[in-house]
Structure 1
Amino acid sequence: MSDLLPLTMAERLIRQAMTPFPVEAVPLEAAYGRVLRQAVHAERALPPYDRVILDGIAVAWRDRQTAWVLSGTQAAGHPPLTLDPGHEAALAVMTGAVLPRGADTVIPREDYRREGDTLILQKGVSPKRGQHIHPMGADCAAGAALLESGLILSPPEMAVLAANGISQPLVSAIPSIAVISTGDELVAPDAPVAPWQIRRSNDYAIAASLARRGLTRQTLLTLPDDLAILTLKLDEALDTHDAVVLSGGVSMGDFDFVPKVLAALGVQRIFHKVAQRPGKPFWFGIGKSGQPVFALPGNPVSALACCSRHVVPALLHAQGLNLPPRHVMLAAPLTPIATMTRFVPVRLGHDDQGRTLAYPCPMTTSGDFNRLGATDGLVTLPPGDTPLSAGTGLVFHAW
């Protein structure tokens, strides 16, 4: 087992080797779901003026006053009007309008009645000076920090960008990724299948795992266990993509050519074989142009486990995304492996206190992927001899 790299070391080496993906400006309407790569500050104080909170009238308040004369209307989106001098005048105001000059109080529409141009306060209503006004700068001052680089743009962040005049936000470029399955035994989902063949599934699973994180620029390719064809096609993939993810051909078989081909193409091997199960034959390297190359085992559970546990976090890190680990609680006991990290598929649920529970769904073998459809991802069990009881906290990675 001495030739197996500990999981923590593999993670560290991957992060150290990854080069950040470029930054690009995109139209605001195309920025949703992208990784923000700039800090955002308030364009001006918010609100930028004393804002009327609800429909009603704006007045210069005087204690015990109960009637006013309507002198005009302050609509939203228009320059401020000036309240007539004295305390008898009132201006009708709309929600979101600027507070008229000379006014200091807003009285809601339901708190007064109108008789011609005279507005009479309803009985039992006691306005207070300054009520129903959102003061200028109450939310934030001009220049205040609003968004940090390294987050995914969701609806609230999109609103912040728009409200602060950022029409071309800087985001991480979406890398082009070649997703390649290797093996003479693989046939397409719609092709006739012989008894000695299997339908290819790894590339679809890996592509879906990447796409759900916004990594949608993909090329899917299936290659035979042929040294010449592998060399030609992998060379083309390295020349035309920002990252390459392979499955199959990395173990100890006579036709596992992938490590040999990658070395011949000038890909620097960072490591091969990690102390983890499933996924021990995992290979990682860096191409001549700095592109990451992930070569995953061909067994479907191993491939998807390595993708979720290594490939996805590495690519998101290169995009500048800052995601904290997600922790869950075991819903049932699990036994770790003494000499290596163990990945266990789980189904998520919640207890009556709202805590996220992970229900173990261990597979019988790394090829037993048909039951993965009932699971949400995997948990990581560090090496050890002591069984983990229900309630133990573990790190979760979604498929």
Structure 2
Amino acid sequence: MKLADTTTVQTVIAQILAAQESSRDDGGVETIPLERALGRCLARDLTADRHQPPFNRSAMDGIAIARADLPAAGPQNTLDCPEEAWCFQSLGILAAGQDPGPLAHPGFSGNTSQAGRTPSESEARPSPGAVPLKRAAGTRDNKQAPPLPPCVEIMTGAAVPPGFDTVIRYEDLQRSPDSQAAGKNPPSPEPGPEAGPVRWICRGSIPARGANIHPRGADYQKGAVILEGGQIITSSHIAVLASCGYTQVPLRTLPSITIVATGDELVSPDTTPLDHQIRASNHLSIAGELTSWGFPPGEVRLCPDDPQALTETIRRGLKESRVLILTGAVSKGAYDHIPGILEGLGVEIRIHGVSQRPGKPLLVGRARKAGRADSLVLGLPGNPVSALINLRRYLIPALALQSIPGSSGRIWAPGPASPMSSWAALGFPLRLAREITFEPPLTYYPGVSLEMYQGELTLVPVRGNGSGDFFHLSKTAGFIVMPKDRTRLEAGSLVQFYPWGV
């Protein structure tokens, strides 16, 4: 079989996407523990089981007050009192995780079990208005003043007690000199002669109602969709799901993948090879690259260049897998049996040979299955550089797109809310630090390393010794695309970069 030498990269992309579209199985769903869901695709919408925050949450350390206890003044609903100060008497201190009900406002007439919600006007019956104290006056000299408005010392994250609606920061307060020691909850009923109830003084503006409070349900309401099906789960999504009690999550099943490395010269890595043999490495590097992008293979096998053994191994792989990856024996040599075996098994070969370097012998096929999703067959060259670059260039992006249910396999781009891993899987632009030249009229994939230059991440070409030189490939961070119609890329050129997975 003669290899095609005019098939373009764009044709390969279209054929792989088409084959992937026919092999996808949107009905496959599995439920796994939340802690193992990172990087996986959510199968359906998930909703909130409660409001977030579930209560009016203090956003600052300070004191909670009822704004209605103070007379309104000024168009901004704040009180500016440069010559006077406001004094509040503490009912106690409240930390995150403590029940705020026992420290409800004395005038609150609602249900304290609904702690933290904003009271209605009828429920909030404020105590008599506070009397402003002269800056020079001490609280002990104001014996005939009406009762001071109450407050509660409150810590960040605590539920605001019923009847209170505003938090003043500690930074804007002073402790009354005759207050008793902090931290007693409630204040001692019999303070010593030099101590009194805890009082807090605010000299300056009283913040508007609701200040420094994260309102109940401000982030989302009970029953709201917190995560849509089709999203790739990130660490921030895990936080949201955990807060709603999801310990098990429904995920799209991953495509079943089988890797078969072929060649009589190959022996297992744990074997001492003879002089004419080599230790197999392609199957492991391919498995590692797939796993790094979230697509671990199910089976990884070695097979000799024996037509009967190859036929049975490929037949089994087609039966068990939605993606079958073959390395070696796909070119036009006397022992390259795979193209003929695939045709004999009914596989439709869509592409065999691409106008590119490395990886001209690339093969793409589709195995149709009655009543089941088709299988994609990807035949990679046996040379390790060619195999890994072609896997990364074509299959990884296709799998990344195919994992999203309902997405169009024709769209070669992630969604706007996709995590960085999705963008990286599809490649992204960076600038070259040095010039690259390449004369043959082929799409070229030179390896590159990363280098910081004048505050910008740039790409530096890495020279190798051909498609069998995996040692120099290990010194690269990925590769770039040099279009077929270009023979030179100048330093500073913006190019498409495909990083290796980690």
Q: Give the drift of 1:137.
A: 4.2
Aligned to 2:61: 55
Q: What do residues 118-176 of structure 1 show as CA deviations (whole Å, max 9, x unaligned)? A: 33335756542343212334445667665454443221121122224444333221233
Alignment pair present for 1:339 and 2:441: yes
Alignment pair present for 1:202 and 2:282: yes
Aligned to 1:316: 400
Pick from 104, 113, 132 the counterpart of residue 82 of structure 1.
104
Aligned to 2:86: 66
Whether the aligned pair in 1 keeps the contact of 2:269 and 2:279 (CA below 8 Å) is yes
Q: Secondary structure at the match of 1:35?
A: coil
What is the count of residue pairs matched by the alignment? Answer: 398
Q: Secondary structure at the match of 1:316?
A: helix
Q: Which has the larger radius of gyration?
A: 2
Pick from 358, 383, 386 the counterpart of residue 302 of structure 1.
386
AA aligned to 1:379 is I
Cα distance in 2, alignment partners of residues 282 and 2 from structure 1? 10
Aligned to 2:488: 387
Alignment pair present for 1:91 and 2:147: no
AA aligned to 1:52 is S
Aligned to 1:184: 264
Aligned to 2:16: 14
Q: Secondary structure at the match of 2:248?
A: coil
Alignment pair present for 1:170 and 2:232: no
Aligned to 1:271: 351
Cα distance in 2, alignment partners of residues 67 and 119 from structure 1? 10
Cα distance in 2, alignment partners of residues 88 and 123 from structure 1? 12
AA aligned to 1:103 is F
Q: What do residues 283-335 of structure 1 show as CA deviations (whole Å, max 9, x unaligned)? A: 01122331211110001110111111112222222212933441111111112
Q: Give the drift of 1:57.
A: 2.3
Of residues 162-171 and 49-58 in structure 1, the stretch that sits farther from structure 2 once superposed is: 162-171
Aligned to 1:215: 295
Aligned to 1:113: 175
After superposition, residues 224-235 of structure 1 pair within 5 angstroms as 224-235=304-315
Aligned to 2:428: 326
Aligned to 2:191: none
Of residues 267-276 and 15-24 in structure 1, the stretch that sits farther from structure 2 once superposed is: 15-24
Cα distance in 2, alignment partners of residues 334 and 31 from structure 1? 41
Structure 1: segments with no counterpart, 5+ residues: none
Alignment pair present for 1:24 and 2:85: no
Cα distance in 2, alignment partners of residues 385 and 74 from structure 1? 69
TM-score (norm 2): 0.73
Cα distance in 2, alignment partners of residues 214 and 266 from structure 1? 30
Pick from 101, 104, 107 the counterpart of residue 162 of structure 2.
101
Aligned to 2:184: none
Whether the aligned pair in 1 keeps the contact of 2:267 and 2:279 (CA below 8 Å) is yes
Alignment pair present for 1:34 and 2:45: no
Q: What do residues 177-206 of structure 1 show as CA deviations (whole Å, max 9, x unaligned)? A: 211110111112221222222221111110
Q: CA RMSD in A?
A: 2.6
Whether the aligned pair in 1 keeps the contact of 2:87 and 2:202 (CA below 8 Å) is no
Whether the aligned pair in 2 keeps the contact of 1:38 and 1:169 (CA below 8 Å) is no
Q: What do residues 341-392 of structure 1 show as CA deviations (whole Å, max 9, x unaligned)? A: 1111111122223x32111113231112111111111111111144111111
Whether the aligned pair in 2 keeps the contact of 1:59 and 1:103 (CA below 8 Å) is yes
Whether the aligned pair in 1 keeps the contact of 2:100 and 2:160 (CA below 8 Å) is no
Cα distance in 2, alignment partners of residues 55 and 272 from structure 1? 68
Q: Give the drift of 1:20.
A: 2.5
Cα distance in 2, alignment partners of residues 73 and 120 from structure 1? 12
Cα distance in 1, alignment partners of residues 395 and 323 from structure 2? 10
Pick from 280, 285, 295 the counterpart of residue 365 of structure 2.
285
Distance 1:123 1:49, change over 3 A: closer
Cα distance in 2, alignment partners of residues 271 and 46 from structure 1? 53
Q: Secondary structure at the match of 1:312?
A: helix
Q: Secondary structure at the match of 2:198?
A: strand
Once the two structures are aligned, what percentage of the paired residues are identical? 35
AA aligned to 1:14 is I
Of residues 100-109 and 69-78 in structure 1, the stretch that sits farther from structure 2 once superposed is: 69-78
AA aligned to 1:381 is M
Of residues 156-165 and 219-228 in structure 1, the stretch that sits farther from structure 2 once superposed is: 156-165
Aligned to 2:142: none
Whether the aligned pair in 1 keeps the contact of 2:439 and 2:487 (CA below 8 Å) is no
Cα distance in 1, alignment partners of residues 433 and 308 from structure 2? 49
AA aligned to 2:31 is A
Structure 2: segments with no counterpart, 5+ residues: 71-78, 108-126, 128-147, 181-186, 188-196, 406-413, 415-421
Cα distance in 2, alignment partners of residues 43 and 326 from structure 1? 38
AA aligned to 1:378 is F
Distance 1:149 1:238, change over 3 A: same
Alignment pair present for 1:350 and 2:452: yes
Whether the aligned pair in 1 keeps the contact of 2:100 and 2:162 (CA below 8 Å) is no
Whether the aligned pair in 2 keeps the contact of 1:207 and 1:218 (CA below 8 Å) is no
Whether the aligned pair in 2 keeps the contact of 1:350 and 1:356 (CA below 8 Å) is yes
Whether the aligned pair in 1 keeps the contact of 2:87 and 2:201 (CA below 8 Å) is no
TM-score (norm 1): 0.90
Cα distance in 2, alignment partners of residues 144 and 341 from structure 1? 49
Q: Give the drift of 1:226.
A: 0.5
AA aligned to 2:276 is W
Distance 1:150 1:340, change over 3 A: farther
Q: Give the drift of 1:213.
A: 1.2
Cα distance in 1, alignment partners of residues 224 and 51 from structure 2? 8
